[in-house]
Structure 1
Amino acid sequence: MKYRRFGKTNFKVSEVSLGTWQLGSKWGDPFNEQDAQETLAAAYDAGVNFFDTADVYQDGASQRALAKFIKDKGDKVFVSTKVGRRLEPHVASGYTPKNITKFVEDCLTNLQVDALDNVLLHCPPTEVYYNPEAFFTLDQLKKAGKIKNYGVSVEKVEEAMKALDYDISSVEIIYNMFRLRPADNFFKMAQAKDVGIIARVPLASGLLSGKYTLQTTFGKNDQRTTNRHGEQFDQGETFSGVDFATGVKAAAELKARLGAGDQLAQMALRYILMADAVSTVIPGASKPEQITRNVAAADLPAFTTEQMAIVRDVYDQYIKDPVQYKW
């Protein structure tokens, strides 16, 4: 495993880390504690030292599983947790000092730590970025020793740019072969502020595995079924906002032109790591064997200039309009 400096936190994070949305459960299935612990152990044994979670993942079960796993790891691991999506309804007015403080305290309880390594506001409405009170609350929690660093998980590039006005340490943003816009300007802006970047949704909800066809179906509780058109949350989260049929076609072309064979998913992760501004990429996993496939991406050869051009060409041809202009 290779490691990169995580912005102004100075922590050296594994290039390929672990997103725990699916930890211990496949898409929409019940949580399985044994699977969770085995997956975490496999990740750690492979050199993963950065774990991304949220208070809403499996209603806190993801955090509690992490708590059990990290209790004897000390400063060898870094846990980044998101807060805010427990709000019902999830509106800007809910990001009050009282609510944010309560969310942080609940995370401290779930993770069984005295201070949180990193807290991200969990894709708050755009209005929140123009409300300094939410960020000043995080400043106060930092001064109180309850959190060590804070930042934001965003839907849109514009939100990421606005967040740089505050004393953030990191931004979690969707960046993959089907979502190239963050690299146009934002990455340079983040580097100038010494802000770490966490690349999320790296495989576009599985489209960039190259395994889907137009006949592929998903479970009834799977967000790839229930949120395909943004019924539950931002449409850009599911398939990176790409129309499914278009995404299948674009992935097939990438697979063929890159000569990816059965390694398109690993190549998609390696592509993300071509950006120096990216601190870590966080593919999910629900079983140990998925960890092995994910971390192998860090050892793939760097993309050639020709390969980089192929990705841009496929993006421009199939994906850019309308994805580039929405997120």
Structure 2
Amino acid sequence: MKYRRLGKTNLDVSVIGLGTWQFGGEWGIDYKQKEVDAIFNKAEETGINFIDTAECYGDHLSEEFIGAAIEKNRDRWVLATKFGHKFHDLYERTRHYKAEDVQKQLEDSLRALRTDYIDIYQFHSGTDEEFDNDALWTMLDKQVEAGKIGHIGLSISKNDNTYQTKHAADIGAKSMQVVYNRLDRTPEEEVFSLCEEQDLGIMARVPMASGYLSGKYKPGAVFADNDVRHRHDKEETRKKLEMVETLYNTEVPEGVPMSQWALAWCLKHPAVSTVIPGCKNPEQVEANAKAAELDIVTNNHPQATQK
């Protein structure tokens, strides 16, 4: 495993992290604790040390699984979670960014995670109006002083959100989470450079484009009703799968699994500290971790290997 500094946090994080939305039950699998434990055991074995979750992946359900899995060796993990949404049912959320609501969310997350501190506490896909909230940032700054939060982070919902990115340092943020993958390169246009100017550590979420870049799905693929991808626009899904097939035939080097190529592709950008793919089992954790070893030619280089 390789590690990079996560911006001004000065935390060294594994370049391959562990995304955990799937533990909340919205990706076609309902997990048991022993299954989550097996995933974390494999992550530890491969050298992964970075975890990303959120209070709304289930009603703190993902956090509860994680808390039980890492309780005995909490200090070896860099733990990031998020605030701002309340889970009610599958794919149903309400938004809560008032200072008093977020303080309760923080306490609930600490309890679910079985810890007394969160390394990175992230503003989760809020609007600019929700972002402009002095009371919220004052409250969170006090939680940092109290030691319950190590660092504040942002997780923007729109990849071209320059307003929140430009003002990240103003509210004390030290990291930025953004969707970035071979199918969506929008952050390269302006967000990445703004992050570099402020020394914000970048976490690339959805690096395999919600699994479309996993190499498992061909044009015409259909997702189950309890899989969040079932809710995606059907025409957009068709276009993505056709583009994925083209990428596989023109950019992925011979003998390299597409999923590993997709992760390594994100890490080619010098602004990116870590990628946070989801995983359904220990085998996928191990496969993801191997992407850290790849030094492959990507589409950024015209001499990319052709099949």
Could you tell me the TM-score, scaled by structure 2's length? Answer: 0.89
Q: Which deviations, in whole Å up to 9, do the C-alpha atoms of 1:41-95 show, x marking residues without a partner?
A: 101110000001111223222212221222232432110011111177634xx31
Matched, 1:284 2:278: yes
- Report if aligned partners of 1:24, 1:33 keep a CA contact under 8 Å in 2: no
Match of 1:255 in 2: 248
- Report if aligned partners of 1:35, 1:286 keep a CA contact under 8 Å in 2: no
Match of 1:275 in 2: 269
Match of 2:94 in 1: 90
Q: How far apart are residue 32 of structure 1 and its match?
A: 1.7
Matched, 1:246 2:246: no
Matched, 1:167 2:159: no
- Report if aligned partners of 1:25, 1:31 keep a CA contact under 8 Å in 2: yes
AA aligned to 1:187 is F
Q: Which deviations, in whole Å up to 9, do the C-alpha atoms of 1:150-193 show, x marking residues without a partner?
A: 11111113143443432101111000111112122221221221
Q: In 2 relative to 1, CA 161–87 (structure 1 residues): closer, same or farther, beyond 3 Å?
A: farther
Count of residue pairs the alignment pairs up: 296
AA aligned to 2:270 is D
AA aligned to 1:308 is N
Match of 2:53 in 1: 53
Match of 2:213 among 208, 216, 219: 208
Match of 1:149 among 131, 148, 151: 151
The 2-side partners of 1:87 and 1:100 are apart by: 14
- Report if aligned partners of 1:24, 1:287 keep a CA contact under 8 Å in 2: no
Matched, 1:222 2:227: yes
AA aligned to 1:135 is W
The 1-side partners of 2:218 and 2:297 are apart by: 26
Could you tell me the TM-score, scaled by structure 1's length? Answer: 0.84
Greater per-residue helix proportion: 1
Match of 1:120 in 2: 122
Match of 1:180 in 2: 185
The 2-side partners of 1:310 and 1:298 are apart by: 22
Greater per-residue strand proportion: 2
Q: Which runs of 4+ in 1 moved over 6 A?
A: none
Match of 1:66 in 2: 66
Aligned CA RMSD, in angstroms, stands at 2.3
- The residue correspondences of 1:3-22 to structure 2 (distance < 5 A) are 3-22=3-22
Gaps of 5+ in 1: 230-238, 313-327
- Report if aligned partners of 1:164, 1:190 keep a CA contact under 8 Å in 2: no
AA aligned to 2:300 is M
- Report if aligned partners of 2:56, 2:87 keep a CA contact under 8 Å in 1: no
Moved more, 4-13 or 63-72: 63-72
Q: In 2 relative to 1, CA 145–255 (structure 1 residues): closer, same or farther, beyond 3 Å?
A: same
- Report if aligned partners of 2:252, 2:261 keep a CA contact under 8 Å in 1: no
Q: In 2 relative to 1, CA 245–104 (structure 1 residues): closer, same or farther, beyond 3 Å?
A: same
Match of 1:39 in 2: 39
Q: How far apart are residue 129 of structure 1 and its match?
A: 2.1
AA aligned to 2:41 is A
- Report if aligned partners of 1:54, 1:83 keep a CA contact under 8 Å in 2: yes
Q: Secondary structure at the match of 2:66?
A: helix
Match of 2:101 among 90, 99, 102: 99
Match of 2:294 in 1: 300
The 2-side partners of 1:164 and 1:143 are apart by: 17
Q: How far apart are residue 195 of structure 1 and its match?
A: 1.1
Sequence identity of aligned pairs in percent?
34
Q: How far apart are residue 286 of structure 1 and its match?
A: 1.7
Q: Secondary structure at the match of 2:210?
A: helix
Q: In 2 relative to 1, CA 243–302 (structure 1 residues): closer, same or farther, beyond 3 Å?
A: same
Match of 2:134 in 1: 132
Match of 2:203 among 198, 201, 219: 198
Moved more, 19-28 or 216-225: 19-28
Gaps of 5+ in 2: none
Q: In 2 relative to 1, CA 97–259 (structure 1 residues): closer, same or farther, beyond 3 Å?
A: closer
- Report if aligned partners of 1:21, 1:62 keep a CA contact under 8 Å in 2: yes
Q: Which deviations, in whole Å up to 9, do the C-alpha atoms of 1:238-259 show, x marking residues without a partner?
A: x9xx811111111111111124
The 2-side partners of 1:130 and 1:74 are apart by: 33
- Report if aligned partners of 1:210, 1:248 keep a CA contact under 8 Å in 2: no
